[in-house]
Amino acid sequence: MAQSDVLLKLKGVKTYFFTDEGTVHAVDGLDFQVRRGETLGIVGESGCGKSVTSMSILRLLGKTGKVIEGEIMFDGENLLDLSEEEMRKIRGNRISMIFQQPTTCLNPVFRIGEQIIEALQIHQGLSGEEANKRTIELLTLVGLPDPVRRMRSFPHEISGGQAQRVMIAMALACNPELLIADEPTTALDVTIQAQILDLMRELREKVNTAIILITHDLGVVAEMAENVMVMYAGKAVEYAPVHALFEAPKHPYTQGLIASTPVLGNVRDELETIPGQVPSLLNPPAGCRFASRCAHKMDQCTQEEPPLIKLEGDRLVRCWLY
Amino acid sequence: MTVSNSTSENLLEVRNLKKYFPIKGGLMRRTVAQVKALDGVSFSIKKGETLGLVGESGCGKTTTGRTVLRLIPPSGGEVLFEGQDVLKASSSRMRTLRRDMQIVFQDPYASLNPRIPVGQSIAEGLTIHNIGTPKERLDQVAQVLDRVGLNSGHMRRFPHEFSGGQRQRIGIARALVMQPKLIVCDEPVSALDVSIQAQVLNLLNDLQKDLGLTYLFIAHNLSVVEHISNRVGVMYLGRMVELASRDQLFRKPMHPYTKALMSAIPLPDPTIKRDRIILEGDVPSPVNPPSGCRFHPRCWLAQDICKHDDPIFEEKEPGHFVACHFAQG
Ligand SMILES: Nc1ncnc2c1ncn2[C@@H]1O[C@H](COP(=O)(O)OP(=O)(O)OP(=O)(O)O)[C@@H](O)[C@H]1O
Ligand SMILES: Nc1ncnc2c1ncn2[C@@H]1O[C@H](COP(=O)(O)OP(=O)(O)OP(=O)(O)O)[C@@H](O)[C@H]1O
Ligand code: SF4
Ligand code: SF4
Ligand SMILES: [Mg+2]
Ligand SMILES: [Mg+2]
C-alpha cells in the first residue's frame, strides 16, 4: 500500500468531555486509518464513542469536549493543527458528513435548492447559473422525484427519506474525498434504506469517495463495508476485513454482538445475550473494559489493559486471549 | 386458523377495524380531511400465541394496538376479546378487560414517571383497581421484579438509575403485575442495543412459556418479528396486506410489498449476495391513499386493474391471507 493511499489516519486520539459530573473519557486512545475509496464500518453499542469519533475528526465537539491527545492526519496534514478558518474550508468540501437526523442539518428557513447552490458557490466557486445546473444534476442523481420543483421546497415539506437524499446530495456537492455517514439510514424505513444504500454505493464507484460508515446495524455493515472497526466503551476492540469479521469474530464482545443479533431466515430458540451493561465512561474500569460482561475473563483482565494485538490477515484484537 | 371465523381458541378477534383521525383546519377548526390510519383491518390471535405486526412507519401498527385496547375509540369495526365485544363492554366488564389487556411501550424512558420510585409505578395498576392491601401489592411488585430479572431492592430506585434494558424490564413488570391475558408489545426492543434487545426478547419468550401469555407484538424489524412470532401480519397504509404463519410468510411471501420488504433487509453476512427489489418512490400519505390497490404506485407488478380495483384480503392458501390481484408464492 503506497503511503499516499492513506487518506485519514488517527493516532492515539483521546477525546474527553469536561462536565459537572466529571471527565467523560468518550474516546480513549483510538488508532485507525482509511484509504482513498475505502469504506470503513464502525459498529458498537450506544455510547461507545462512534459519533464523538466523527465529531473529533470534523472538530465539532462544542465547548465541553476536547481532543486532548493524538493526531488526526488528513492527506498528510494534522487537522488538529489547523485554524478554525482552514477547518471550515475542509468541512463540507473535502470532508462531508451525513447525520442521523437529516432535518437538523438542513436550515429550516431556506429552500433546499438554495442551500445546495450556496454550498457550491462557496466551496467550488461556481457562478449562480452553474451552481443551479449542478444542483439539479445532484438532486436527480440522488433520485429525488421532480427535482426542479423540489428545489423550491422547504425542509419540512419533504419526507424523511427525501431529506436524507437532499443531505446526501449536499454532502456530495463538492465531490468530497471523505464522507462520514453517522447512522445515515437508522431513522428510515428499510425500503427507503435500501434506496439510500444503493445510492451511496453508486456514488462511491463514481467519485471514489472514502466512507466512514457508523451504524449499529450489522447487516448494513456486512453489506457496505470493506473493513470494520468494533468499538467498546471508547476503545477499538477489534479491527478486521468484513468477511473475516463475520466468519470468525475474535473479540468476545464482537462474538456476543453477532450471536445476539436475530438473523432473518435463521430462527433460533434462544438468542445469545451479553449479560450486564456498558461501564460508565466517567470512571472507566482499569484493565479490559469488557471484563465485567466477559465469559472468558481471567485475573490478568482486570489488572492490565490488553493492547491491540496483531493477528493474521490484517486483523487487530484487544484481548488477552490472543 | 382463519382471520374472521369465530373459534373459541381465539383470545382476540379484530374485524374490519377502522380509525380515522380528523385533520382540523381553517378558522372554524372544522374537519377538512381525515387520516385513514386504519382502514378495515381484520385478524385474530389464539390463546398463548404471538402475532407479529410489521410494516413501515405510519402504516397503522400503533393505532391498531391502541384501538384494540380501547385506549382510543375506533371509527368502525369490532374487537372481540374472549368472544365479547370490547367496544360495547359495560363499565364493569371494562374494568376486568383493563386488567386482562396490558401494553408495553417502545420508549422505556418516556413511559415511566421520572419522579416516582419504580416500585410505585409498577404497583400503579393494582392501586387504581384497588387490588389487595398495600402489603400484598408490595409482595406482588417484588415477585414480578424477580420474574423480569431484577430484584425487590430495585423498588425504591428512580427510573434514571436504570439502563435502557432494565427500564424495559420495568415496563414489562408493570404489565405483568396485573396478571394479564394479552399484552400488546409496541416496539418493545426498538430503542435497545442488540445485546440488550436479545435479553428482553428471551425474557418475553420465557414469560409466555411459563404464564401462557398471548402477545400482539408490533415492530418494524422483520428479523425480530420472525424470531418471536407464531404468525405475522404485514400492514401497508392502514391495511393488512398479508397474514400467515411465520414459516409461510418468511419462506413464501406472496404479496409484492412483503417481498420487497424482506429483500430490503441487510443481512449480517457479507457472503450473501441477494437480488434486491428496490421500490420506487416514498410511502404515500394515508390522507389521500392511492385508488385501487394502495401499493400500486410503488408496485413493480401493477397492472391496469390495480389502479381502480381494491384487491380483497382473502385466503389464497390454507391460513395464508393476501390482498393482491396477482399474489404468487
Ligand atoms: N457533549 C457531551 N458532553 C458529555 N458527554 C458526552 C457529550 N457527547 C457525548 N458524550 C458522551 O460520550 C460518550 C460517547 O458518545 P457518542 O455520542 O460518541 O456515542 P455513540 O457511540 O455515537 O452512541 P449512539 O450509538 O447512541 O449514537 C457517551 O458516553 C456520551 O454520553
Ligand atoms: N392522534 C393522531 N392524530 C392524527 N393522526 C394520527 C394520530 N395518531 C396517528 N396518526 C396517523 O396515523 C397513521 C398511523 O400511525 P401509527 O402511529 O399507527 O403508525 P405506526 O405504524 O405505529 O408507525 P411507526 O412505525 O412510525 O410507529 C400515521 O399517518 C399517523 O401520522
Ligand atoms: S481481555 Fe479478558 S475480559 Fe477482556 S475480552 Fe479478553 S478475555 Fe474478556
Ligand atoms: S394488487 Fe396489483 S398493485 Fe397491488 S400489490 Fe398486487 S400486483 Fe401490486
Ligand atoms: Mg452516535
Ligand atoms: Mg408506532
Hunting for cell 444534476 — which residue is that?
Answer: A137
* pLDDT value, residue B329: 75
Ligand 1 nearest-atom number relative to CA A61? 1
Cβ separation B269–A159 shorter than 8 A: no
Interface of B with A (CB under 8 A): 56-57, 163-166, 193-199, 201-202, 205, 220, 222-224, 226-227, 246, 250, 260-271, 276, 278-279, 281-283
**Which chain A residue has the Cα nearest residue B281?**
A145
Cβ separation A272–B193 shorter than 8 A: no
Ligand 4 nearest-atom number relative to CA B305? 2
Residue type, B249: L
Q: Tell me the average pLDDT of chain A.
A: 90
Map B34-101 to HEC letters: EEEEEEEEEEEEECCCEEEEECCCCCCHHHHHHHHCCCCCCCEEEEEECCEEHHHCCHHHHHHHHHHE
What H or E segment, with its residue span, contains residue B33? strand B30-46
Grid coordinates in use for A160?
Answer: 424523511
CA distances from A200 to A169, A189, A205, B316 (A): 10, 16, 9, 39
End-to-end Cα separation, chain A, in angstroms: 26
d(CA B312, CA B292): 10
B309 found inside a domain: yes
B284 found inside a domain: yes
Contacts of B166 in chain A (CB under 8 A): 277
Q: State the nearest Cα–Cα gap between B196 and chain A, in angstroms.
A: 7
d(CA B250, CA B258): 9
Residue type, A59: R
Q: Specify the 3-state DSSP secondary structure of B128.
A: helix
* Torsion sign (Cα): A286, A292, A293, A297: positive
- Tell me the residue range of the domain where B265 lies: 252-322
* pLDDT value, residue A1: 46
* pLDDT value, residue B183: 97
Name the residue of B31, B59, B105 to mutate for ligand 2: max ligand atoms within 8 A of Cβ.
Answer: B59
User: For residue B169, how far is its CA from the centre of ligand 6 (angstroms)?
Assistant: 19
Q: Is the CB of B157 under 6 A from ligand 2?
A: no
CB A290 within 8 A of CB A237: yes
B274-327 per-position pLDDT tens digit: 888 888 777 788 888 999 999 999 999 999 999 999 999 999 999 999 999 999
Rounded-to-10 torsion of CA A160, A161, A164, A168:
-160
Grid coordinates in use for A21?
Answer: 459530573
Question: Which value does ipTM take for this structure?
Answer: 0.84
d(CA A169, CA A64): 31
A57-75 per-position pLDDT tens digit: 999 998 999 999 999 999 9
Contacts of B122 (CB under 8 A, 6+ apart): B141, B144, B145, B155, B170, B173, B174, B177
pLDDT level of residue A108 (50, 70, 90 thresholds): confident
B180 found inside a domain: no
B317 found inside a domain: yes
Name the residue of B19, B34, B61 to mutate for ligand 2: max ligand atoms within 8 A of Cβ.
Answer: B61
Share of chain A above pLDDT 70, in %: 98
Q: State the nearest Cα–Cα gap between A168 and chain B, in angstroms.
A: 17
* Number of domains observed in the structure of chain B: 1
Q: Which of A63-72, B1-10, B141-150, B173-182 has the lowest mean pLDDT?
A: B1-10
Q: Would you say residue B4 has pLDDT above 60?
A: no
Q: Is the CB of B284 under 6 A from ligand 2?
A: no
Q: Give me the residue from A260, A264, A277 closest to B198, CB to CB.
A: A260
End-to-end Cα separation, chain B, in angstroms: 19
For residue A86, the number of C-alpha atoms closer than 13 Å in the C-beta half-sphere is 8
* pLDDT value, residue A149: 87
Q: Which of A2-16, A89-103, A154-168, B132-146 holds the top average pLDDT?
A: B132-146
Residue type, A296: H
Chosen from A190, A243, A253 to mutate, greatest number of chain B CBs within 10 A: A190
Q: What value, to the nearest 5°, has the Cα angle with vertex A109 and ends A108 and A111?
A: 90
What phi, psi does B6 have (nearest 5°)?
A: -75, 120
Contacts of B57 in chain A (CB under 8 A): 189
pLDDT level of residue A187 (50, 70, 90 thresholds): confident
pLDDT level of residue A139 (50, 70, 90 thresholds): confident
d(CA A229, CA A236): 7
Share of chain B above pLDDT 90, in %: 68
What H or E segment, with its residue span, contains residue B315? strand B313-317
Q: Which ligand is nearest to the CA of B292?
A: 4
User: For residue A279, how far is its CA from the centre of ligand 1 (angstroms)?
Assistant: 13
Q: State the nearest Cα–Cα gap between A259 and chain B, in angstroms.
A: 9
Q: Is the CB of B250 under 6 A from ligand 4?
A: no
B78-122 per-position pLDDT tens digit: 999 999 999 888 888 888 998 999 999 887 777 889 999 999 999
Q: Which ligand is nearest to the CA of A55?
A: 1
Q: What is the DSSP string of B239-306?
A: EEEEEEEHHHHHHS--SHHHHHHHHHSPPS-TT------PPPS-PPPSSSPPSSSTTGGG-TT--HHH
Q: Specify the 3-state DSSP secondary structure of B313.
A: strand
Q: Give me the residue from B195, B227, B269 closest to A246, CB to CB.
A: B269
* pLDDT value, residue A166: 87
Among B5, B30, B6, B35, CA closest to B18: B35
Mean pLDDT of B27-32: 79
Q: Would you say residue B147 has pLDDT above 50?
A: yes
Higher pLDDT, B127 or B163: B127
> What is the DSSP-derived secondary structure letter of residue B129?
T
CA distances from A2 to A7, A35, A74, A300, B7 (A): 11, 10, 15, 38, 71
* pLDDT value, residue A4: 67
Q: Is the CB of A306 under 6 A from ligand 3?
A: yes
Partners of residue A263 on adjacent β-strands: A266
A271-322 per-position pLDDT tens digit: 888 988 888 888 888 999 999 999 999 999 999 999 999 999 999 999 999 9
- For domain A2-94+174-263+270-317, the question of CATH label 3.50.50.60 is answered with no
Q: Would you say residue B1 has pLDDT above 60?
A: no
Share of chain A above pLDDT 90, in %: 57
Q: State the nearest Cα–Cα gap between A197 and chain B, in angstroms.
A: 10
Grid coordinates in use for A310?
Answer: 496483531
Q: Give me the residue from B165, B198, B279 closest to A191, CB to CB.
A: B279
User: For residue B9, how far is its CA from the centre of ligand 3 (angstroms)?
Assistant: 50
Q: Is the CB of A47 under 6 A from ligand 1?
A: yes
pLDDT level of residue B2 (50, 70, 90 thresholds): very low
Q: Would you say residue B3 has pLDDT above 60?
A: no
Q: What value, to the nearest 5°, has the Cα angle with vertex B294 and ends B293 and B297?
A: 95
**Which chain B residue has the Cα nearest residue A267?**
B227
Q: Is the CB of A319 under 6 A from ligand 3?
A: yes
d(CA A214, CA A244): 19
Q: What value, to the nearest 5°, has the Cα angle with vertex B240 and ends B235 and B241?
A: 85
Grid coordinates in use for A63?
Answer: 465547548
Q: State the nearest Cα–Cα gap between A24 and chain B, in angstroms.
A: 18
* pTM (two decimals): 0.90
Interface of A with B (CB under 8 A): 45-46, 145, 159, 161-162, 189-195, 197-198, 216-223, 242-243, 246-247, 256-258, 260-265, 267-268, 270-275, 277
Chosen from B50, B61, B195, B223 to mutate, greatest number of chain A CBs within 10 A: B195
Nearest-CA residue for ligand 4 atom 3 is B296
d(CA A164, CA A158): 10
Q: Would you say residue B53 has pLDDT above 50?
A: yes
B304 found inside a domain: yes
* pLDDT value, residue A315: 97
Q: Is the CB of B286 under 6 A from ligand 2?
A: yes
* pLDDT value, residue A103: 61
Q: Is the CB of A278 under 6 A from ligand 3?
A: no
Contacts of A162 in chain B (CB under 8 A): 282
B328 found inside a domain: no
Q: Give me the residue from B196, B227, B262 closest to A262, CB to CB.
A: B227
Cβ separation B264–A194 shorter than 8 A: yes
